[in-house]
A = this chain, B = another copy of it.
């Protein structure tokens, strides 16, 4: 058994959390999964539950405890803003942890999940959308990530909201018909009774009621309907999303480098990706594009760095290969 310090990299997301137990060379010794891990969206108590659950899984695999851990590195959205980290430190301490706790950006974890280069870009479009430029291994430029109300252009929320608006306009006859309407109505269990009041159908009233009774962010759940079948309205939404993501990236571009893609919106081929590359034009030639599934590898990479190591391409390769054994 190694006498080297053991480290935990945590990829703490809005819906689930992953913990990677690694040594300083990037050899993964354990891996665990937990529930929601972001204190901003899930609340501190529940987020701590999710993180601790993932950590317990990773430690159990290797027969270790938190007392053996030198550094814990949770990577999460808004890590900078939530300066008070007691919500997690207290829970870790209860389980014997007395090492260092170093928070990192989820964007940086996404980046180092795909590249070890000190210069490059990460673009994550899941529920939200954000681009960062990495220089000397740190974020030195940010585009969008402004949230559903002010930005996140080209994100899953943005697409879902556009789907909802397009369906509402179809039913309202203020917009073109779209094949998305029937499946979206079915999604909310809405069936027409044929009743029309003041020129407005009961299904449109039902849709309005259904959507306003939920938190706005849940519109992101409608994004898949835009990808589901060929439709001119859906195609227009997806192409515009791709263009928005390209414009956000263009705002931080300063030369060639790796571009790590995270989130489901841009990870598959199709209209979003096509419009994204077309809009970037020649600038795309200098980018080495690679998609990552989540930020677990990068969180472990950042844990190695936080422990004083100098992780490089070999570390990334080791992490990628050894984490794969566990999932």
Q: A151-B168, A247-B174 are in contact. Are A142 and B199 (CB under 8 A)?
A: yes
Q: Is the CB–CB distance between B140 and A199 below 8 Å?
A: yes
Q: Which of A138-182 contact B (CB under 8 A)?
A: 138-144, 146-147, 149-151, 161, 164-165, 168-169, 172-174
Q: Which of the listed residues A150, A169, A248 has the most CB atoms from chain B within 10 Å of its own CB? A: A150
Dominant secondary structure at the A interface: mixed
Q: Which of A244-273 contact B (CB under 8 A)?
A: 247-248, 251-252
Stretch at the interface among A44-52, A62-70, A208-216, A286-294: A208-216
Q: Which residues of B contact A252 (CB under 8 A)?
A: 199
Across the two chains, which residue of chain B brings its CB closest to A146? B168
A49 to chain B, nearest CB (A): 25
Any chain B CB within 8 A of the CB of A3?
A: no
Any chain B CB within 8 A of the CB of A198?
A: yes
Q: Which residues of B contact A187 (CB under 8 A)?
A: none
Interface size grouping (class) on chain A: 35 or more
Q: Which residues of B contact A143 (CB under 8 A)?
A: 172-174
A211 to B81 CA separation, bound complex (whole angstroms): 15
Any chain B CB within 8 A of the CB of A105?
A: yes
Q: Is the CB–CB distance between A142 and B247 below 8 Å?
A: no
Q: Which residues of B contact A146 (CB under 8 A)?
A: 168, 172, 208
Any chain B CB within 8 A of the CB of A80?
A: yes
Across the two chains, which residue of chain B brings its CB closest to A143? B174
Q: Which residues of B contact A81 (CB under 8 A)?
A: 205
Known: A105-B198, A141-B198, A142-B200. 8 other contacts (CB 8 A): A81-B205, A140-B199, A143-B172, A147-B212, A150-B165, A151-B169, A173-B251, A174-B247
The 5 residue pairs across chains A and B that have the minimum distance between CB atoms: A141-B199, A139-B198, A174-B251, A142-B199, A150-B168
